[in-house]
C-alpha cells in the first residue's frame, strides 16, 4: 500500500510541474506505420496483419519466416498503407517501405485502385541475404479516389525467407507536433491499466508521444491496482494521472485538451482521445500522429472501430449523423459496415477492403486525434456528459473549416454496440444531446423532428417500454429548459434519470430462470411474423387493440432481434432477451401507464414544436460560454 501511495504522490506532482509542450526537430524519416505480422493479443486473427496465401509461414509481431513455396500478402486491414488518404490530405508525395531480410525470395509492392484491382509497382528478388535492408521508394500519385499499397512476400521451392522490421516512412515536416494521449476512465481500472501496460510495452509507439493523460473519474481507481506502480515507473514523466469529478466521457476527454492547451508553447499540438476499455493496437498512435504531422491543414483524424467480440469485424468505414432525424452512426455511401475483414464481397468476390476514399461526418472518440488549432478556433466540447459529444464537436469544427477524416488501418477493438441494450439510462443523454446538436448544426425542422419523436414514443408504448418512453419525455423536457441544463456537466441529470427509470420494472434485467412471478418452464418462444407490408395500417390496429386492452398472447419469450413493436404489441406479458445476452427484461401491459405517458409525451412534443425555435436561439447564444476554458475550469473545480 505504501508503494502505491508513493506512486500517487509522484504522478500528482508531475501534473503540477509538467514540461511545456513544444514542437520537436525531427531526427530522420517519419514512421507512418509499421508492417506487423500479428496482433497485440492472441484473440486477434493474424490474418488481419498478414495472410498466408499458400505454404507455411511463422508470423510473430515484427517478423515473418516463410518456408519454401510460400506466399504471404500484406493486402490486409493492418498491412495496407492508405495511399488514397495520404494523397488527398497530406503534402507527402512519396513513401518508402523498407525491411530487413535474410535468405532468398521475392519482395513485391502491390497497389490497388478504387475498384480493388491489384497491380505491381515494384519488386526485388532476394538471394543469400543476411540481415540486408531492402527499400522501395514509391510515388503517392495514382490513388486520389481510392486504393492502397502493401507488401507481398514469396518463396519458391528450396528458398527460405525471413522478413522483419518492416517500416513505412515519409519525409518528416520541418517540425514535429507534440502529441498527448488522453484516456478517460470510470471504474474500469483493470481495462485502463491494461492499455497503459500495452503502451509501456511498446516503446516505439511512445516515441511519438509527449504525454499520456489518464482522467480518472471513478471510485475504483486505476492507481489502486498492484500493477500501477510498475506501469507508472515504466512510463516515467510521460504519465499524468488525474482525478476529477465524474463528468462523463465529455469531461474526461476534454481534460486532455484543457491540460495541453494550458501547457503549450505552440498552436501546433495534438490530443489523441482513447477509450479506457478498448483492446489497443499501439501502432494506431504511430499511424494517426504521423498522418496528422503531414496533413496540408489541421484536420480531426479518427481511428476506426473493430468489434471486440468479433475481432475480424469492422464496425464502419466512416460514418455521419442525420441531424434532423436524430440518427447517429450512419455509414457514409460506399462504406463497409459490420464487415468481415477476412471475407470477400459477395457480389465482386474481392476481399472486403475499404478501397474507395470516404469523407466522414464525424468519428467516435474510441480513438480520435484533435489538433489544438481546432480547439483555439471552435472552443472545447460541450459539457454533454456523454453521447453525441463526438458528433457535435466534429460538426462544429467542420463549420469552421476543420473536416474529420477516418483513417483506414488505424483501428482499435471496442465492445460491439449490438450487445448494448438501447433501453438504458444513457438513452436519455443520447436523445437530449441529439436534439441539442440538431438545434446547433441543422436547419432544425421542428415539424419533422416532432414527427420522429412521436413515432418513437408510439413504438415504445406499443412495445411496453414505459421507462424508455419516460426517458424520451424527460430528454425533451430537459432540452426545453435551455442551456442551463448543461451547467453542471450532466451530474444532476444522470442522478435524476437513474431514479426515474428505477420506477419501471421492465428496465431491470433478470436471470432467465429467475423471472419474478413467472415460472421458468412456462416461458416459451413465440416468433414474429414478417415485417408488415402496410406498417401504418398495422400501427393503427395495434394502437386500437392496446386502447381496448386486447392481446393475442398472454405470455411468451421473444428473441432480441424479433422484439419489434408490431410483435411485442400482441402480448400481455413479453419476456425479451437483453442485448447483452446475459438475461431478460419483462414487459407487461399497463393501460394506465400507457395513457398517462402517451398524453404527457404528446404534450411535451407539442411544446417542442411551439417553443423549439426560441430554445434553439438560447443554445446557440450559450455555446461560446459553455465551451470556454473558464467553464471547464469551473467544472473541474480547479
**pLDDT-above-70 percentage for the chain:** 97
Q: Dihedrals φ, ψ of 476, to 5°?
A: -70, -45
pLDDT confidence bin for 346, thresholds 50/70/90:
confident
Q: What is the DSSP letter of 142?
A: S
Query: Does residue 478 surpass a pLDDT of 90?
Result: yes
The span from the CA of 290 to the CA of 30, in Å, is: 7
Rounded mean pLDDT of 450-477?
98
Each residue of 292-311: pLDDT tens digit? Answer: 999 999 999 999 999 999 99
The span from the CA of 288 to the CA of 98, in Å, is: 20
What cell numbers appear for 23 in the block?
Answer: 514542437
According to the model, what pLDDT value does residue 259 have? 93
Each residue of 187-198: pLDDT tens digit? Answer: 999 999 999 999
Q: Of the given ranges (16-20, 141-145, 230-234, 244-248), which has the lowest mean pLDDT?
A: 16-20
What cell numbers appear for 193 in the block?
Answer: 491499466
Contact 460, 470 (CB under 8 A): no
Rounded mean pLDDT of 177-193?
95
According to the model, what pLDDT value does residue 278 have? 95
According to the model, what pLDDT value does residue 6 have? 35
pTM of the model: 0.93
The span from the CA of 61 to the CA of 59, in Å, is: 7
According to the model, what pLDDT value does residue 330 have? 98
Query: Does residue 522 surpass a pLDDT of 60?
Result: yes
According to the model, what pLDDT value does residue 8 have? 39
**pLDDT-above-90 percentage for the chain:** 88
The span from the CA of 83 to the CA of 142, in Å, is: 9
According to the model, what pLDDT value does residue 214 have? 97
The span from the CA of 196 to the CA of 223, in Å, is: 11
Domains in the chain, please, with CATH? 2-22+174-419 (3.90.550.60), 30-170 (2.60.120.260), 426-593 (no CATH)
pLDDT confidence bin for 9, thresholds 50/70/90:
very low
Each residue of 602-634: pLDDT tens digit? Answer: 999 999 999 999 999 999 999 999 999 999 999
Query: Does residue 13 surpass a pLDDT of 90?
Result: no
pLDDT confidence bin for 18, thresholds 50/70/90:
low
Buried (b) or exposed (e) across 436-469, using 16+ Cβ within 10 A? bbbbbbbebebeebbebbeebbbbbbbbbbbbbb
Of 139, 235, 236, 242, give the one whose Cα is nearest residue 182.
242
Q: Rounded to a whole number, what is the largest CA-CA distance in the chain?
A: 85
Positions annotated as catalytic residues are: 390
Residue identified by cell 415539424 is 447
Of 472, 426, 421, give the one whose Cα is nearest residue 449.
472
Query: Does residue 185 surpass a pLDDT of 50?
Result: yes
Of 288, 359, 354, 416, give the one whose Cα is nearest residue 76.
354
Amino acid at each position: 500500500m505504501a508503494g502505491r501511495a508513493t506512486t500517487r504522490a509522484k504522478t500528482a506532482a508531475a501534473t503540477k510541474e509538467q514540461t511545456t509542450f513544444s514542437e520537436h526537430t525531427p531526427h530522420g524519416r517519419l514512421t507512418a506505420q509499421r508492417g506487423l505480422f500479428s496482433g497485440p493479443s492472441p484473440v486477434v486473427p493474424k490474418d488481419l496483419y498478414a495472410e498466408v496465401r499458400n505454404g507455411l509461414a511463422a508470423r510473430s509481431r515484427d517478423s515473418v519466416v516463410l518456408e519454401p513455396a510460400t506466399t504471404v500478402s500484406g493486402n490486409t486491414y493492418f498491412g495496407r498503407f492508405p495511399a488514397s488518404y495520404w494523397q488527398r490530405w497530406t503534402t507527402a508525395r512519396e513513401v518508402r517501405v523498407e525491411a530487413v531480410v535474410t535468405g532468398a525470395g521475392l519482395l513485391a509492392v502491390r497497389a490497388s485502385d478504387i475498384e480493388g484491382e491489384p497491380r505491381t509497382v515494384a519488386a526485388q528478388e532476394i538471394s543469400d541475404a543476411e540481415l540486408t535492408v531492402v527499400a522501395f521508394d514509391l510515388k503517392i500519385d495514382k490513388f486520389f479516389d481510392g486504393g492502397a499499397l502493401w507488401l507481398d512476400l514469396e518463396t519458391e521451392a528450396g528458398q527460405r525467407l525471413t522478413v522483419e522490421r518492416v517500416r513505412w516512412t515519409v519525409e518528416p515536416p520541418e517540425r514535429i507536433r507534440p502529441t498527448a494521449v488522453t484516456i478517460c476512465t470510470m471504474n474500469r481500472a483493470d481495462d485502463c491499466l491494461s492499455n497503459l501496460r500495452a503502451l509501456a510495452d511498446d516503446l516505439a509507439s511512445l516515441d511519438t508521444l509527449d504525454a499520456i493523460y489518464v482522467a480518472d473519474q471513478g471510485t475504483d481507481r486505476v492507481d489502486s491496482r498492484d500493477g500501477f506502480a510498475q506501469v507508472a515507473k515504466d512510463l516515467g514523466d510521460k504519465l499524468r494521472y488525474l482525478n476529477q469529478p465524474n463528468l462523463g466521457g465529455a469531461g474526461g476527454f476534454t481534460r486532455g485538451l484543457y491540460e495541453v492547451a494550458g501547457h503549450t508553447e505552440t498552436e501546433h499540438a495534438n490530443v489523441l482521445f482513447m477509450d479506457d476499455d478498448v483492446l489497443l493496437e499501439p501502432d494506431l498512435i504511430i499511424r494517426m500522429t504521423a498522418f496528422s504531422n503531414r496533413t496540408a491543414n489541421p484536420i480531426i483524424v479518427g481511428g476506426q472501430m473493430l468489434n471486440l467480440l468479433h475481432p475480424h469485424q469492422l464496425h464502419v468505414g466512416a460514418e455521419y449523423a442525420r441531424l434532423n432525424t436524430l440518427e447517429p452512426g450512419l455509414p457514409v455511401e460506399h462504406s463497409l459496415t459490420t464487415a468481415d475483414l477476412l471475407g470477400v464481397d459477395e457480389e465482386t468476390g474481392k476481399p472486403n477492403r475499404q478501397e474507395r476514399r470516404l469523407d466522414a461526418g464525424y468519428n467516435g472518440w474510441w480513438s480520435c486525434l484533435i489538433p489544438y488549432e481546432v480547439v483555439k478556433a471552435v472552443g472545447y466540447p460541450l459539457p454533454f456528459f456523454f453521447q453525441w459529444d463526438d458528433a457535435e464537436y466534429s460538426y462544429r469544427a467542420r463549420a469552421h473549416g476543420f473536416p474529420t477524416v477516418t483513417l483506414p488501418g488505424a483501428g482499435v477493438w471496442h465492445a460491439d454496440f449490438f450487445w448494448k441494450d438501447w433501453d438504458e439510462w444513457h438513452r436519455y443523454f443520447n436523445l437530449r444531446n441529439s436534439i441539442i446538436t440538431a438545434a446547433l448544426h441543422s436547419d432544425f425542422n421542428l415539424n419533422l423532428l416532432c414527427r420522429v419523436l412521436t413515432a418513437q414514443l408510439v413504438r415504445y408504448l406499443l412495445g411496453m417500454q414505459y421507462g424508455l418512453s419516460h426517458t424520451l419525455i424527460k430528454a425533451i423536457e430537459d432540452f426545453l429548459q435551455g442551456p442551463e441544463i448543461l451547467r453542471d456537466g450532466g451530474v444532476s441529470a444522470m442522478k435524476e434519470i437513474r431514479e426515474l427509470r428505477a420506477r419501471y420494472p421492465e428496465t431491470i434485467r433478470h436471470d432467465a430462470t429467475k423471472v419474478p412471478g413467472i415460472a421458468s418452464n412456462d416461458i416459451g418462444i413465440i416468433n414474429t411474423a414478417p415485417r408488415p407490408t402496410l406498417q401504418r395500417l398495422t400501427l393503427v390496429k395495434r394502437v386500437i387493440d392496446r386502447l381496448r386492452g386486447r392481446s393475442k398472447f398472454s405470455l411468451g419469450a421473444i428473441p432480441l432481434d424479433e422484439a419489434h413493436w408490431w410483435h411485442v404489441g400482441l402480448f400481455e406479458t413479453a419476456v425479451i432477451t437483453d442485448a447483452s445476452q446475459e438475461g431478460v427484461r419483462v414487459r407487461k401491459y399497463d393501460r394506465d401507464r400507457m395513457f398517462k405517458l402517451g398524453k404527457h409525451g404528446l404534450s411535451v412534443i407539442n411544446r417542442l414544436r411551439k417553443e423549439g425555435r426560441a430554445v434553439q436561439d438560447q443554445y446557440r447564444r450559450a455555446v461560446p460560454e459553455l465551451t470556454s476554458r473558464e467553464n471547464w475550469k469551473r467544472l473541474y473545480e480547479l
